[in-house]
Amino acid sequence: MDSGASHRAAWAALLDEIGERPRQPDFWRLTIGRPTEEALPLVLGRRVPAHEAWELARRKRDLYVELAWRGLPAVAGAPAFVADLARRGVPRAVGTSAGRYDVDRVLGAIGLRRHFQVVVTADDVTLGKPDPEVYVLAARRLGSLPASCVVFEDSLVGVEAARRAGMRAIGVATSHTNAELSGAGAERVVDDFEGFQWNSLDR
């Protein structure tokens, strides 16, 4: 899903509500792929006590949900690509920093939730990306070795998490540039999934 615009708007609304100014104009880039609680100190430039982080994260999530209810677009070609993987019997999992409620609702809205046997969310792990826990757990639940997994990621911390898990990583340039994703460890970068074929990957 291309949820970036809604996340950016939710962050901006949260900062406006609490009277905080971001440390840099493109502050939202620091948040991509990270759980909100872990992104807050980076955005605010200060230590955030656990209780405050929890309250702010809950408010940011509420703001995001309000915006996302209008509908989030799929990355171009993604639904067809996922459906093709299902037809081929390729094991599939979601490993995300979002919560389970958001994942089920957003993927369900465009008919993709049924295509994933395994969904690992922020509710299932202790550490967020770039820690590899989310991907290691996803592979374990699929019954797959990490070395046999390919991760498609739009965030730098996500690419790092995949590489630290011992997995291949392909960048999706919806939020970061090709150079940034390659620099983080992506073996290749695609703009979207239009025309992308599973058998185009060398294995």
pLDDT at 202: 67
Q: Is residue 73 part of a domain?
A: no
Q: How confident is the chain (203 residues) per 10-residue block, as mean pLDDT?
A: 79 91 78 87 91 93 78 84 94 92 81 92 93 98 97 94 98 91 96 89 67
- Distance, in Å, from the CA atom of 5 to the CA atom of 110, rounded to the nearest integer, reads 18
Q: Is residue 8 part of a domain?
A: yes
The tokens for 200 are 């185009």
Q: Are residues 90 and 164 in the same domain?
A: yes
pLDDT at 137: 98
pLDDT at 34: 85
Q: Is residue 203 part of a domain?
A: no
Domain assignment of residue 34, given as a range: 4-68
Q: Are residues 62 and 157 in the same domain?
A: no
Q: How many domains does the chain have?
A: 2
Q: Are residues 128 and 174 in the same domain?
A: yes
Q: Are residues 154 and 125 in the same domain?
A: yes
31, amino acid identity: T
Q: Is residue 192 part of a domain?
A: yes
- Distance, in Å, from the CA atom of 199 to the CA atom of 151, rounded to the nearest integer, reads 15
What is the dihedral sign for C-alpha 187, 189, 192, 195? Answer: negative
Q: What CATH number is associated with residue 181?
A: 3.40.50.1000
Q: Are residues 91 and 186 in the same domain?
A: yes
Global pTM? 0.73
Q: Are residues 59 and 29 in the same domain?
A: yes
